[in-house]
Structure 1
Amino acid sequence: MSAIPQERRVVTAIPGPKSQELQARRLSAVAGGVGSVLPVFTARADGGIIEDVDGNRLIDFGSGIAVTTVGASAEAVVRRASAQLADFTHTCFMVTPYEGYVEVCEALAELTPGDHAKKSALFNSGAEAVENAVKIARAYTKRQAVVVFDHGYHGRTNLTMALTAKNMPYKNGFGPFAPEVYRVPVAYGYRWPTGPDNCGPEAAAQAVDQITKQIGPDNVAAIIIEPVLGEGGFIEPAKGFLPAVARFARDNGIVFVADEIQSGFCRTGQWFACEDEGIVPDLITTAKGIAGGLPLSAVTGRAEIMDAAHAGGLGGTYGGNPVACAGALGAIETMREQDLNGKARRIEEVMKRRLSAMAEKFDVIGDIRGRGAMIAIELVKDRATKEPDAGAAGALARACHAESVLVLTCGTYGNVLRFLPPLVIGEDLLNEGLDVIETALAAV
């Protein structure tokens, strides 16, 4: 049972007076480059609700960007992390190790796709995980080039900005970026010139052709892709694309890296999104949903690849922090005990049914896509031309926020409304949030 009533409540304008006071303090103390979707200051959060300092309760369709999959104060996460907090907060695993780190690596070996021998290394953030996956792939292959995809997002460090496709707000003004990064087409079915049915094989052929002609397969250390592209617009690569690219990587000794930072840990109704087409990556990067809100990330992969880096070549002061590891074990316990894969699939069923009905009423909805509790609508000015409508996405998000429903936008064109509810959200709250979205669509 949640300590917070699982009910939407609007008691002030949003943001309310206390949030506005805190925002004034924030503006004088916090760097302007750190943005927020909604300047509502959180007091408590659990289940499908965020309660702000003014007493408003917002339905959470964001999960802290796919982090609080098990809720923002899940019992097992709090219990395990609290116990660890009382024992010790830090020793640095590179100085004196501890069992929790090993337990998380053992769990990752069990949960990630494939029955080969696996090892893991733990870090703090998704960007760190991706950056270390590149280091490991380069150490293993003795090659330098890295291939990524249109609409991809991989982080905000210098290397991961280079890997990321979108300029604003992620890259603009922050260069020069790391070299030996090459971008190729992805199978974006909704916008593929010859239509979604041809998209998978055609996009794969284009990607392989560009890699072969422009880089040379023997120079490529790693191919990195999100099995469902997150910030780029919740794009599911058209069927056949991922298997073809993975096969090309395998045939050419290239390390195939699945970036499951946003899509992993039950988010799409499977432990990992790459399972949908039977993809077994060489390396898989995880973060976000891994630890119930505590900072933790991982690279997991084939033991012989993971062992390619020399001793001391991987790590970091806080990587695999003991409290975060305890939180991860609590999050995995919750996912298993509450069948959160099943709950994600049920969320998809409810959301797609409701959103499809809305699409019949509102022409602004050009596409509905995603899997599990990773669902999006792409908004367009005209269904025939598919011209992106970023203005409608922004207006729709603002209208939902005013009615105490937290939603997020994304997409290369800024025209996608994405839904990432906690997997523990009640179906009544889910439907109420969708009611608000429908009303907002009518207004927009």
Structure 2
Amino acid sequence: MKKDAIVVIGAGAAGLMAAITAARAAPQVRVVAVDGAPRLGAKILIAGGGRCNVTHHVVTERDFHGSTPAAIRRVLRAFDVEAARRFFEAEGVPLKRESTGKLFPVSDRAQDVLQALLGAARRAGVELLHPYKVTAIRPDDVGGFEVDGPKGREAPAAATGTVTGGPAGLGASAVILAPGGRSVPKTGSDGSGYAMVSNLGLPLTPRIFPALVPLRLPDGHLVRALSGLATDVRLIVVSSSGRHLASVTGALLCTHQGVSGPAVLDVSRHWQAAMDDDAQSGVLVNWLPDVVAEDLDRRFQNHGARPIRRALAPPLPDRLADALCALAGVDPDEPGATLTRDARKRLVAVCTAWRLPVVGTRGFEVAEVTAGGVPLSALTAGLEARNRPGLFVCGELCDVDGRIGGFNFQWAWASGTVAGRAAAARVAAGTMEPVSG
């Protein structure tokens, strides 16, 4: 392969966008995207229940965690929500906004999103090599790279041309790393990218952990018996001293292993981060997010001869109201008028500030994204490694993770665009200096 080539490692959301952008920006440069996953674009296909939540109608740096907000903002501004909408509409995939603010394909088909990306890559002249499992990336003696892997194969019909790799692998002037993190490893995100960046001298955050992940409760816990029940809650991460560290309001879903749902997924990374600093941190649940403790206490006091469960259900489901009474040691059939002060206080506390007995998460196998990775401070504005010119990092491999609702896909589109644009500029210019993007 010619040494003026750009090799993109990973053909998921960020990798395909990086390859498309690079090929469009520098049509004279050979762009090759390689991917070792058993199925191309598997994460795109399973996202949003098979519909693919492409982005959100408003995305800012405040929707993300990890690296500094200023660094995240620079990347997001380079390819914003409107740019994402225009890109997919130009590729024949118009988007619709739902009441939650999420943007989905009008067709409700994730397959259409993947095919749009593959079609755009084909028309831009990207050569796709799949399956091709990269085993190592080695700097050569002329400022480029050798990408080691299995012998090249004929590219699928979705790609253009055929790439043939020999024993020395693929040669390139620039490499864009977009192999994903560790979430849902069955899709190909096996964490191999972290070894690649470490071997090339890039730093990683001290901890890499699953984010947007369900939480586990103890075996036999009462809440696990409510599997399938969903309700809106407010979740608060607190330190051992009681200081509020994070708060999320949204739906909670009881499962046979613990709790899930949008609010739980969003709060999971905050709980894990808090536990790193303070092992006595926890998550409090307000099952009545629009009700404060004092008002609920008055409601109980004024409930008269009616069963106390009726003060909770509605708005809570009957099964949940009974469960909360059980957790407080209160008979759900007891009249409000006869409830003792201590019993009333216990029930108020359970309803508005109950500590979830979290014993862990369900891990990378079901997490929607990975927290941690390469800090943006180690990269230029063009997402090029400061200490390794010609090496670019984008997507989930970066220390950037967003909340649920299409934000992580927007990061993939934006960071892939920035890396692809900067890599193309670097190779086209033939310079050894990092490109700002």
Q: Normalising by the residue count of structure 2, what TM-score does the alignment of the two structures yield?
A: 0.24
Q: Which protein shows a greater Rg?
A: 2
Q: Normalising by the residue count of structure 1, what TM-score does the alignment of the two structures yield?
A: 0.24
